[in-house]
Chains A and B, each alone.
Chain A
């Protein structure tokens, strides 16, 4: 008995740090008779229920007390004791009966008795003999239904307050920080944030905007009023007079001020990012879709709006910093600050092809904003190079730096080859003939990158296979030495005409037919390039015109 106790104590001590780290004030959702589930299993299930609570705002409770007599009245008592949420579902069992109890408007609307006794109970009962599996089925099915409900009706149904004029910002509370142009940095018309969250976020957005002289705005709306998200975002930006350093006209409309706006519409869970002015360059298509969106969209998908907007703000800061340091986030391998996108396009496509084909990134980066080529190269490589092997040439007004990274690139770009590359590029770079320098850099770099070391393993296999093949003719020679074999057939002694078939009949014994659903095979779309990071991007930013005549970049989609 003592021993069991000490084991339990050790186990408790072991899980204590975990519990204290993440489950300080986490409520319990699953209650069962002792011994039905292990501590680990209970922990998993409670975590899952807690996730549902976080994602959907609904507490999903379960208890199994075999000795409870009057289940309906006990479940009320249970709800009073344990349920903390405004909306909750409780499924209670005793030895003989079950009982569902919905609490709060959302739970009542999303989880009517028909759904509980139908879908949820079916899923629960479909799992046999595995208590944890049964409970997981219950939790997951409820989660699905809540998600479905939320996608269809949203939360807006509870808290509707659509401003009649979307461009009237006078209703934005005082606690929201303003841009240097005096406009609110956060317009939360869908009420996704608490007041304190909104205040701190707006302050963060304002600081970033002032620092980088580029408005960073977040707006949420219940619906789009029939517009596309992109158009809504563009218009919201222009007609509200956003844009760092832009001067609004008489109507308060600005054109081509510097700024980026994130718009969320809760109606159909649309989002749009609209960039304007210098932000179009800083936030390239690749930067928005491959860096910015992956940074915040996952939070939004989980309804963690506060975290999502903060992540958006920080990633915007990163990208603005990158643009300030020299080169905006892009899929580009070749960047020369004095060139237009069109000029860069051809070279970048070539470099992207090399990266796809040989998995080696060839980078040529020249910008007057680069102070120290050496350190810039290091940080650029660390943040922005996705290929496992790469060669980078960074050139700033104070000199240049050329480095090779990754074993795959190092074996190809040996000292000798590197010297060859330098001879072909550096003289032109120093004499200011950037065009020739880039062209030589790419062609020589491509030549070196496409050199492959001999695959000695395959070669070895070929040699061994060849040696083994040598046994085949020799086994024929060995067979020549053997001429004594016992005969097993009497074919030669059969009179050829004497073979007569006297019976040849097939008797059908039975048939059976099996049926299966016809599966149409679809060709899986062939995978793209290996390097992968630059697929579909040609560098730079695509732009469109908004209704006010301004030029915007950006991207939109669903979350």
Chain B
């Protein structure tokens, strides 16, 4: 089946269009025209009407050649603009042609079950990501000095990462055993009265849009760390938002992903309900039942800037929330500096304590005061 690849072209000059995160418009980098995504969609459908007889499949998957060797999961696309071959894995949904830099969107990845419900458009651009990265390095005392100067950002990619958003009404019902004790003295005896209780606690709560990253390629912990996203700014999915960015479709099913969401709201419900058991001298959880109702799940593309930084022959990955600008990524540790600081602070504390010890000695408590 021929691939539906979308490439938005400027209605004014025919160049490839890109989504501009600053103005939230689709702009033409060549003639400075700008369009709202909706305008573009209208224009696009108009074009399609217009060119019904044309071959609209400007990108096609070279299926015959690669189907036999699917183990690698690679597909080859041919760029319509320059004819160059673009390699992409099964989940690649939008990319840039490495030869002519045109944005290409594989429409097949957004149809049927893969059609996202929501997209959260990029609000921050490449420069913001670069700045955020430099700021991320700032003030980290144990970061190797050379990392500042010698690290080079090998690649900055704006990616729409597929996320599952789970919403649910959660009911938790828990039973605790608790004791209360009371002590008094009467007639030469100490009495301790211990009362044992069964504590029944139940509560409901609504959880909205717990995001769970649906891409195998993305590190779960790293995606978790990018939270929170503000879903009030999410809009209905339009391929136009993808212009100029990479995107993947999900490759972790919602049924699998939901377990991570469940773990999270279970934990929250358990701690919330456990907090209702004040006033007892000891409380222990006996049983717990947590059920979900009115479950909803949405498939959303969320904006992430990925930065690959090479230093000392090693690749470090950082990710920035394309909406809020929160940048995460573990940094290398300079062991030498760590020990230097340990000795420095240790020396200061040792001097203070040792000084106190001697001071105490001369003030007459003979150092025994420590």
Q: Which A residues lie at the B interface, using CB under 8 A?
A: 452, 454-455, 458-459, 461-474, 477-478, 480-495, 498-519
Contact = CB atoms under 8 A, between A and B. Distances in A.
A486 B221 contact: yes
Interface in B225-270: 225, 227-228, 261, 263-265, 267-268
A372 B276 CA distance: 87
A466 B142 contact: no
B195 A508 contact: yes
B2 interface: no
Given A465-B350, A470-B345, A470-B349, 19 more contacts: A462-B354, A462-B357, A464-B350, A469-B349, A469-B350, A470-B347, A471-B342, A477-B141, A481-B333, A484-B330, A494-B268, A495-B208, A498-B206, A499-B204, A505-B200, A508-B196, A509-B196, A517-B188, A517-B190
B12 interface: no
B266 to A, nearest CB: 9
17 contacts: A455-B357, A459-B358, A467-B349, A469-B353, A470-B347, A470-B349, A473-B341, A483-B329, A493-B264, A495-B208, A502-B204, A507-B198, A514-B192, A515-B190, A515-B191, A517-B190, A518-B185
B209 interface: yes
A105 to B, nearest CB: 43
B207 A502 contact: no
A459 B197 contact: no
Contacts of B197: 506-509
Nearest to A452: B366
A452 B199 CA distance: 62
B207 A494 contact: yes
A458 B368 contact: yes
Contact of A488 (B193, B264, B367): B264
B331 interface: yes
Contacts of B57: none
Given A474-B342, A478-B333, A486 B203 contact: no
Contacts of A483: 136, 225, 327-330
Contacts of A504: 200-202, 276
A482 B190 contact: no
Given A483-B225, A506-B197, A499 B330 contact: no
Contacts of B192: 513-514, 516
B346 A501 contact: no
B347 A467 contact: yes
B113 interface: no
Contacts of B202: 501-504
B264 A489 contact: yes
B225 A485 contact: yes
Given A483-B330, A513-B191, A466 B346 contact: yes
Nearest to B197: A506
Nearest to B272: A499
Contacts of A462: 350, 353-354, 356-357, 370
Contacts of A485: 221, 224-225
B140 interface: yes
A512 B194 contact: yes
B158 interface: no
B141 A487 contact: no
Given A506-B199, A516-B189, A492 B206 contact: no
B229 to A, nearest CB: 10
Contacts of A464: 350
Contacts of A517: 188-190
Given A503-B201, A511-B194, A490 B268 contact: yes
Nearest to B340: A474
B214 interface: no
A466 B349 contact: yes
B203 A463 contact: no
A185 B197 CA distance: 82
A501 B201 contact: yes
Given A470-B347, A483-B225, A490 B356 contact: no
A417 B361 CA distance: 20
A498 B264 contact: no
B263 to A, nearest CB: 7
Contact of A477 (B142, B200, B222, B346): B142
Please name the 9 residue pairs, one residue from A and one from B, whose CB atoms are nearest each other, closest first.
Answer: A470-B346, A466-B350, A467-B346, A498-B206, A466-B349, A503-B202, A470-B345, A490-B264, A462-B353
B24 interface: no
Contact of A481 (B222, B331, B366): B331
B352 to A, nearest CB: 7
Contact of B263 (A488, A495, A501, A505): A488
Interface-central residue, A489, A490, A513, by most chain B CB under 10 Å: A490
Contact of B224 (A468, A487, A512, A518): A487
Interface string B297-314: 000000000000000000
Interface in B60-76: none
B139 A459 contact: no
A481 B345 CA distance: 19
Contact of A498 (B194, B205, B342, B356): B205
